[in-house]
């Protein structure tokens, strides 16, 4: 008996549309190159929606050499000048007093775009106080769309090798930054048109005009380095807080819970944070089952800013320790990727693969904000009985872990098959003794719960910096809590 369909609009997704082609793009080296090529092929419309943007960033490989300018700000002007039919729209988060988009380096570009009749920038502040516009979407001619976790900004570009001290990994001012792991995706066909509809809806809510869809075409170059899945039925899931008469949308949260509850053997996830009470409770319920799945979570060692460290890292420590009592069979692991020299690789990707059944990628993290407070967008698909798609999902999971462990995917896949346990395979590889002749390689290190201060513990337990929604921001402290309540989840079907 086949399992019940996982993707179910309007409960855990907004729409399901056919993607004539779907592929995953690992790390910004691949994404930036693909985005550049797609924009160059644009005929009528480019829609870039993001949380952050830096006009000085090179769009493509740092050494890209074609007829267009390297810096994305100049590149957009060049595109508009060479194609008089092209309209370019940028919708970026307006964080008000936290403004980082209005950095001085962006101002000259903003003024030049403002003088151009076919380049329009809107700063989206149409959200509750403290919320953010976190979606990362690029739609070209309603024909090809990218959706994932990568913004066109600094500190994002890296390759899958995550080399130590890579001189190409530098900010526009020349300063070097550390290794960065990320993920996005692209789709072609009706699913791209649907993401275009979402962009047009967001544009109008931000004060823009009502826009018509663009004419569909297929004149796009091949995307090198993409992990292709072929044609799939692609679901689009959103988070949107209740605001200005609009109802709250929690499709992202619902899909996370449904995916966790549907797992048979393995849940593999990459996320910038592990701070969501809802996600942790769903995982804890599965870990308490005698035959529940293994859960492998890839996180950065620590958040990349002091606020995230204070709120998210502390919540992770508290949740991890609270889950131990549910994990009697030792089936839950948090790992951090590190370089060959032991430097932490920052994990910014938002990706989940459940068994050989389903995957999702997008902008949402495992934190409360992504579930109910910020604007988010993820895409997902099911194998739906296709043996070929099911195998590709397993291959993808093993490919991601092989990247983190610094080894070939075929070798790691063989170890997984022999071990019969994903955690067992990871532990076997990362604890292997090395001879002096063997060069060091990337690997995964296990999470170790740090000591936390009383203040940090209080902030995390009361979700002061990671509220579940607009109402929670002003909710009395006595009604808050990282561990309050119980998660109501549907019974899972073993099928």
User: Is a pLDDT exceeding 50 seen at residue 98?
Assistant: no
User: Is a pLDDT exceeding 90 seen at residue 12?
Assistant: yes
Q: Who contacts 241 (Cβ-Cβ below 8 Å, separation ≥6)?
A: 127, 128, 131, 248, 372, 373, 374, 375, 469, 470
388-412 pLDDT tens trace: 999 999 999 999 999 999 999 999 9
pTM for this entry: 0.90
317-345 pLDDT tens trace: 888 888 888 899 999 999 999 999 999 99
User: Is a pLDDT exceeding 90 seen at residue 131?
Assistant: no
Per-residue confidence at 452, pLDDT binned at 50, 70, 90? low
Q: Who contacts 85 (Cβ-Cβ below 8 Å, separation ≥6)?
A: 43, 44
Task: Say if CB 273 and CB 369 are below 8 A apart.
Answer: no
Domains 16-232 and 259-479 share a fold: yes
45-86 pLDDT tens trace: 999 999 888 999 999 999 999 999 999 999 999 999 999 999
**pLDDT score, position 116:** 85
259-479 is classed CATH 3.20.20.80: no
Mean pLDDT of 420-430: 97
Task: Say if CB 332 and CB 287 are below 8 A apart.
Answer: yes
Detail the DSSP E strand segments found in 8-152: 15-26, 45-50, 87-93, 119-124, 137-140, 144-147
User: Is a pLDDT exceeding 70 seen at residue 271?
Assistant: yes
Alpha helices in 149-303 (DSSP H): 190-205, 251-262, 277-287
Secondary structure of residue 82 in the 3-state scheme: helix
User: Is a pLDDT exceeding 80 seen at residue 358?
Assistant: yes
**pLDDT score, position 149:** 97
**The residue to which tokens 């399901």 are assigned:** 16
**pLDDT score, position 152:** 95
**The residue to which tokens 């920052």 are assigned:** 346
Secondary structure of residue 384 in the 3-state scheme: coil
**pLDDT score, position 436:** 62
Q: Per this entry, what is the length of the chain?
A: 495
Rounded Cα distance between 12 and 46, Å, is 28
Q: How far is CA 175 from the centre of its chain?
A: 25
**pLDDT score, position 479:** 46
Q: Is 299 left (phi over 0), alpha (psi -120 to 50) or beta?
A: beta
Mean pLDDT of 166-175: 95
Per-residue confidence at 461, pLDDT binned at 50, 70, 90? low
Average pLDDT taken over every residue of the chain: 87
Task: Say if CB 198 and CB 236 are below 8 A apart.
Answer: yes
**Domain positions in the chain:** 16-232, 259-479
The domain 16-232: what is its CATH number?
3.30.870.10
Mean pLDDT of 174-185: 97
């Amino acid at each position: 008996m086949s399992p019940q369909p996982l993707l179910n609009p309007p409960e855990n997704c907004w729409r399901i549309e056919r993607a004539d082609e779907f592929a995953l793009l690992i790390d910004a080296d691949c994404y930036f190159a693909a985005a550049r090529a797609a924009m160059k092929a644009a005929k009528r419309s480019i829609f870039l929606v993001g949380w952050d943007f830096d006009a000085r960033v090179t769009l493509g490989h740092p050494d890209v050499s074609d007829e267009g300018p390297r810096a994305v700000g100049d590149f957009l002007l060049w595109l508009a000048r060479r194609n008089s039919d092209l309209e370019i729209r940028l919708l970026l988060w307006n964080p008000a007093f936290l403004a980082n988009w209005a950095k001085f380096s962006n101002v000259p570009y903003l003024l030049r775009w403002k003088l151009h009749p076919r380049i329009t920038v809107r700063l989206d502040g149409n959200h509750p106080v403290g919320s953010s516009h976190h979606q990362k979407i690029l739609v070209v001619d309603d024909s090809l769309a990218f959706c994932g976790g990568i913004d066109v900004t600094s500190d994002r570009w890296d390759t899958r090798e995550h080399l130590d001290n890579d001189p190409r990994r530098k900010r526009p001012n020349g300063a070097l930054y550390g290794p960065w792991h990320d993920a996005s995706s692209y789709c072609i066909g009706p699913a791209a048109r649907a993401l275009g509809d979402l962009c047009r809806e967001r544009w109008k809510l931000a004060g823009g005009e009502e826009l018509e869809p663009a004419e569909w075409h297929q004149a796009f170059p091949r995307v090198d380095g993409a992990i292709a899945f072929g044609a799939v039925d692609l679901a689009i899931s959103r988070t949107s807080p209740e605001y200005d008469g609009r109802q709250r949308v929690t499709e992202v949260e619902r899909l996370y819970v449904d995916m966790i509850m549907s797992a048979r053997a393995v849940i593999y996830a990459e996320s910038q944070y592990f701070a969501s009470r809802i996600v942790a409770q769903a995982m804890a319920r599965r870990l308490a089952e005698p035959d529940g799945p293994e859960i492998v979570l890839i996180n950065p060692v620590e958040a990349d800013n002091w606020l995230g460290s204070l709120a998210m890292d502390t919540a992770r420590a508290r949740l991890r320790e609270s889950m131990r009592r549910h994990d009697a069979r030792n089936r839950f692991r948090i790992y951090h990727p590190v370089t060959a020299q032991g430097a932490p690789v920052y994990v910014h990707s938002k990706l989940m693969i459940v068994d050989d059944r389903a995957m999702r990628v997008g902008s949402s993290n495992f934190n409360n904000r992504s579930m109910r407070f910020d604007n988010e967008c993820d895409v997902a698909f099911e194998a739906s009985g296709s043996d070929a798609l099911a195998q590709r999902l397993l291959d993808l999971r093993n490919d991601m872990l092989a990247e983190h462990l610094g080894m070939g995917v075929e070798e790691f896949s063989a170890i997984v098959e022999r071990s019969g346990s994903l955690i067992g395979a990871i532990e076997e590889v990362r604890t292997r003794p090395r001879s002096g002749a063997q060069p060091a390689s990337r690997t995964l290190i296990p999470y170790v719960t740090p000591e936390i201060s009383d203040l940090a513990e209080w902030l995390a337990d009361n979700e002061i910096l990671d509220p579940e929604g607009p109402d929670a921001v002003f909710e009395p402290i006595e009604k808050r809590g990282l561990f309050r309540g119980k998660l109501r989840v549907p019974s899972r079907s073993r099928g």
